[in-house]
Each structure stands twice: as structure tokens, then as C-alpha cells.
Structure 1
Amino acid sequence: MVNDDIRDHLAAAERTFEESPVTIEDGLDVDKPELVQLRRACRLIAAGSYLLERGYYTVVIESSFVAIERTIQFRLIHDGAMAPEEIISSHRRLYQRGAQAGLYDDRFGEELADLWNQNRTKTYYRLGIATEEQAEAMCQFATSFHQHLVSTSRLKHECICGP
């Protein structure tokens, strides 16, 4: 059983999602759905880099995977291969859609799905312990993947990642 303080905090959290936005995260105040996905990926990459330097390896791995997925969604929406309101809840299905849209080949899409399935799950659910080497490799991969997909779009100037 939870106490009244916890219930109050739950209610307060729920209310914040129902209220009109007041203070929006830097870089995310955009109108186009594809730019929201792009900018989210940029912010996740920046957060991952920041946290990597501080030893938060599990969070870096998680944010790297999410940045990869937001970058794929950016391109799918931008290229007209996905409706902005469409939700793809399966990671494997999202990676397959990227391959179908020609962002990369089928084999690469399968490798992405396997990486997620075999490794992200282990570190996230603590079946394995995240290491600095894994976090560095995932952060670098997410960054280079993001840069590649963004650089081949017409909206590369909208990326807010650092140089």
C-alpha cells in the first residue's frame, strides 16, 4: 500500500502532463513532427555524452538506442515513409521499416534489431552489467549513425548536435 504523499506526487505528475507547456526543453520548440524526432535524437546524444563522462553506462546505452530510433523515425517521417501520428512499438519493426525505406539494407536492419535484442535487454534488465567500453561504443555508434542519416537529408541544418 502506498501512502498519501506518494499519491499526491502521482497526482501532481499527472497534472503536469495535462497542463499547457510552460518551460520547453531547449531545441524542441518546433512545429514539424520530423523535427521533434530529430531534435530529440540530438538531445539524447548530448545527454549520453555528458553522462558517459560521469560513469552512467547503463543510461548511456539506453539513450544511445533511443537516439538511434528517434533518428530513424525522423527520416521515416521526413521521407514520407511514416505518418507523424503512427506509432511503431516494436523495435525490430522500426528497424525493418528503416530498411524498407532504403535508409540502410535489410542485413543492417537485422543487425540493429539483434544488437537491441541481445544487448540492450541485458543491460537494461540487469541480466548483464553495462561497461564503460560498451557505453563508449554505443555512444559513438549512435552519434555516427545519427550524423549519417541526418547528413543525407534535406534538413541537416536543423540538427542541433555540436560540431
Structure 2
Amino acid sequence: MENDDVTDALAAAERSFEQSPERVEEGLDVDEAELVQLRRACRLRAAASLLLDRGYYTVVIESSFVAIERTIQFRLIHDGAMESSEVISSHRRLYERGAEVGLYDEEFAAELAELWNQNRTKTYYRLGVATEAQAVAMEELAAALHQHLVDGSRVSHECLC
């Protein structure tokens, strides 16, 4: 890249990840992988809620999908159905794994995967414009699934919501 500002910014970003952690985000400084995922989901939900009020519908939709996935990962790790070091890069596969271990049924997993495939992609890549109704519905879905999966755990008291 020939733009010094961009090159310098990239180098600074790389250095920031190499340094010892200072001033970490409050509430996420836990050692257990399951709690990291749980609390990330809580933070994503909180951010989505704040941004919904400001009209950032695309970000709310994106954050809601990610919060759903972090919540599912929390339960998979919590229930011993996934190793903390395991990475499931396919959204559909993550949803399917949740159904396989009984977090919800296969039909729900398929519908969730289809919702992601058909709608998240459209708003993310600007093939469709996000609406308030979509953002509200996604935020409510993320909240309902989060509550359901957290309530079914032994560590519901660790939720930051």
C-alpha cells in the first residue's frame, strides 16, 4: 500500500494485539471459555439495544446474529459438546450442532440457518436495506434465545444482561 497513513495504522493495530493487555473490557476478564462467550453475547446484545434506538439497523441485525452464535457456543462449551479451542466457522454447522446436542430441535436450527443465509447476507452486503422492523425482530430473537439457553445452564448468574 502506498498510503503511509493506512500503513502506519495497520502497523499500530498489529502492535496493539502483541502488547500485554491493559484496560481490558469490564466483565470480560474471566478465565473460563464458556463465560467469555456468554459475556460477549451479553455485550453484543447490549450494543444492539443501544444502536437500535439510534437507527443503526444493519449493525443491530449483525450484532444480533453474532450474539446468537456466541450464546450457542457458550452452551456448547458449557455442556461439554464443544472444546473451547474448537472453531466452527460455518454458521449453519454451528446451528446444527446446537440441535444435535438438544439445545433446540432440528427444525429450529434449519430455520435459523435459513434466516442467516437469506437475510443476514442481504443486509450485510447491502443487497437489501435493513429496516427498523427487521432490527427489532432480530434483537428480540437474540434476547429470547439468549435467555432460553442461559436459563438452562448452571451459570445463569454469570450473565451480564
TM-score normalized with structure 1 length: 0.98
What are the within-5 Å matches in structure 2 for residues 2-151 of structure 1?
2-151=2-151
CA distance in 2, matches of 1:110, 1:130: 22
1:7-47 CA distance string (max 9 Å, x none): 01100000101111101111100000000000000000000
1:102-133 CA distance string (max 9 Å, x none): 00000100001000000000000000000000
Runs of 4+ deviating beyond 3 Å: none
Q: CA deviation at 1:5?
A: 1.4
Q: CA deviation at 1:2?
A: 3.2
CA distance in 2, matches of 1:16, 1:56: 28
Q: CA deviation at 1:85?
A: 0.2
Percent of counterpart pairs with the same letter? 74
Equivalent position of 1:152 in the other structure: 152
- Secondary structure of the residue that 1:127 maps to in structure 2? coil
- Secondary structure of the residue that 2:85 maps to in structure 1? coil
TM-score normalized with structure 2 length: 0.99
Q: Which runs of 5+ in 2 are unaligned?
A: none
The amino acid that maps onto 2:155 is L
